């Protein structure tokens, strides 16, 4: 049965390295948590391989139980919580994770190991007292509920909104893989330890496949005409509402009838200058507060609806080129707020909306 721990080790290590590399390129706390989780999976599977090949010893038993049986699912759940709630848990999540990790390490290090059982029972020679069992079960049950529930909720959201099909499939695979891993732990506690690494290898592979699927970009939509459909939509949303109200801006070169149309040089737009100044000098949290002061509250939805995506892209086209990188790095809810502010407040005022005095 050593083949399954080896598969679990290889897949877990590959996933940990991939998620860590993604986190280095674009740091996010959910990626840190998931990289740690898959690293713990790899350590636990490696301990099982080492114990099976060279024999179990006390440090190997403690290492296996702490990483594989106690902490790994909790860090998966922590990553899912970051995906769902982001900044709302940023103040408490790291401290809570450190506290639980320290508590679990203390219980595992203090648990006695029956030396006589090491050769025959491996990590099961660890005498798991009521406190350690309660902690391990709580972490695994709550972590599994968070991962599965969060992944299913995200998949349902994508399906309901008709968007991000590949991410939806990825979320479903992650939920299925988490359930398979949890079933392995349940079978072990019910007296069927031989199925533990069959379930772990299969479950980790499914989670890895789900992560790969979710990170793949969805297929681009084909242009309906000579002008890219997204650009055409963005420009049409910026069409003048009166002769003097809106200053049209085009930041792309469109193809029409085989000829390149040179972009127009826009006149300064006070609203766009205001937003560009915020992006250049403030972080996402400060920009969100400013938008709320301008009657545009935050919507915590972590993805953009189709209409929101068009508005965000249209705003990006109007922003100065030097602000694009900072704008793209803002959280999704903040970009949604800025697009709403530009469309429903600033642009409406320029076009002679309710905030403009009648002349």
Angstrom distances, CA of residue 282 to CA of 111, 275, 290, 326, 334: 50, 10, 10, 10, 12
Q: What pLDDT does residue 109 have?
A: 93
Chain Cα centroid distance, residue 311: 23
Q: What pLDDT does residue 83 have?
A: 82
Q: What pLDDT does residue 97 have?
A: 93
Closest CA relative to residue 207, chosen from 263, 279, 269, 147: 147
What is the separation, in whole angstroms, between the first and last Cα of the chain?
A: 84
Q: What's the number of CA atoms in the CB half-sphere (13 Å) around residue 3?
A: 3
Q: What pLDDT does residue 36 have?
A: 94
CB 87 within 8 A of CB 285: yes
Distance, in Å, from the CA atom of 349 to the CA atom of 354, rounded to the nearest integer, reads: 7
Q: Which sequence spans correspond to the domains of the chain? A: 3-215, 229-350
* pLDDT tens by residue, the chain, 359 residues: 678 888 888 988 998 998 899 888 888 888 899 899 999 989 998 998 998 888 899 999 999 999 988 898 899 999 889 888 877 888 899 999 999 999 999 999 999 998 888 888 888 888 888 999 999 989 989 998 999 998 898 888 878 877 678 888 888 998 898 888 777 766 555 555 556 677 777 888 888 888 888 777 655 444 444 334 333 334 344 444 433 344 444 444 444 444 444 444 455 678 888 898 899 888 888 899 899 888 888 888 888 888 889 999 999 999 988 889 889 999 999 999 999 998 888 875 555 444 433 33
Residues 6+ apart with CB under 8 A from 38: 12, 13, 15, 16, 19, 204
Q: What is the DSSP string of 217-249?
A: PPPPPPPSSSS-HHHHHHHHHT--SSTTT----
Q: What pLDDT does residue 7 have?
A: 86
The helix or strand, by DSSP H or E, that contains position 274, with its residue range, turns out to be helix 270-281
Place of tokens 């636990």: 44
The number of helices, as runs of H, and strands, as runs of E, in the chain is: 16, 2
Q: What pLDDT does residue 223 have?
A: 40
Burial class (CB in 10 A: 0-12, 13-18, 19+), 116: exposed
Q: What pLDDT does residue 338 have?
A: 94
Burial class (CB in 10 A: 0-12, 13-18, 19+), 212: middle
- Name the DSSP letter for residue 268: P
Distance, in Å, from the CA atom of 10 to the CA atom of 31, rounded to the nearest integer, reads: 19
Q: What pLDDT does residue 189 have?
A: 55
Tokens standing for residue 327: 């704008």
CATH for 3-215, options being 1.10.1740, 1.20.1070, 1.10.3120, 1.10.287: 1.20.1070
Backbone phi and psi for residue 245, each to the nearest 5 degrees, phi listed first: -75, -45
Q: What pLDDT does residue 238 have?
A: 41
- Taking CB atoms within 8 Å and a gap of at least 24, the contacts of 327-330 are 327/279, 330/279, 330/284, 330/287
Q: Kindly report whether the global pTM for this prediction surpasses the value 0.75.
A: no
Q: What pLDDT does residue 42 have?
A: 92
Q: What pLDDT does residue 234 have?
A: 40
Residue 126 forms beta bridges with which residues?
113
Angstrom distances, CA of residue 76 to CA of 61, 107, 212, 236, 265: 22, 21, 16, 43, 49
Distance, in Å, from the CA atom of 69 to the CA atom of 77, rounded to the nearest integer, reads: 14
CB 34 within 8 A of CB 50: no
């Amino acid at each position: 049965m050593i083949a399954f721990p080896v598969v679990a080790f290889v897949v877990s290590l590959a996933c940990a390295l991939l998620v860590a590399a993604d986190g280095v390129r674009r740091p996010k706390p959910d990626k840190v948590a998931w990289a740690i989780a898959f690293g713990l999976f790899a350590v636990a599977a490696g301990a099982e391989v080492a114990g099976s090949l060279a024999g179990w010893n006390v440090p190997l038993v403690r290492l296996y139980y702490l990483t594989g049986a106690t902490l790994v699912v909790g860090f998966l759940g922590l990553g899912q919580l970051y995906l769902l709630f982001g900044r709302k848990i940023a103040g408490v999540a790291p401290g809570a994770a450190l506290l639980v990790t320290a508590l679990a390490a203390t219980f595992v290090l203090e648990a006695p190991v029956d030396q006589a059982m090491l050769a025959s029972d491996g990590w099961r020679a660890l005498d798991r007292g009521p406190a350690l069992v309660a902690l391990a079960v709580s972490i695994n049950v709550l972590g599994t509920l968070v991962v599965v529930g969060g992944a299913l909720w995200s998949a349902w959201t994508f399906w309901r909104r008709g968007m991000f099909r590949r991410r939806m499939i990825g979320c479903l695979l992650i939920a299925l893989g988490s359930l398979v891993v949890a079933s392995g732990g349940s079978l072990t506690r019910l007296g069927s330890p031989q199925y533990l690494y069959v379930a772990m290898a299969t479950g980790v592979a499914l989670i890895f496949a789900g992560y790969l699927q979710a990170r793949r970009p969805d297929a681009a939509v084909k242009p309906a005409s000579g002008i890219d459909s997204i650009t055409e939509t963005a420009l049409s949303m910026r069409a003048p509402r009166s002769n003097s109200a809106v200053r049209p801006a085009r930041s792309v070169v469109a193809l029409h009838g085989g000829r390149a149309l040179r972009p127009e040089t826009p006149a300064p737009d006070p609203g766009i200058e205001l937003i560009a100044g915020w992006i250049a000098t403030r972080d996402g949290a400060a920009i969100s507060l400013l938008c709320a002061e301008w009657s545009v509250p935050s919507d915590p939805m972590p993805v953009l609806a189709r209409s929101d995506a068009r508005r965000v892209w249209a705003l990006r086209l109007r922003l100065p080129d030097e602000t694009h990188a900072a704008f793209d790095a803002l959280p999704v809810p903040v970009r949604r707020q800025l697009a709403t502010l530009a469309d429903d407040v600033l642009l409406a005022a320029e076009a002679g909306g309710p905030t403009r005095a009648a002349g």
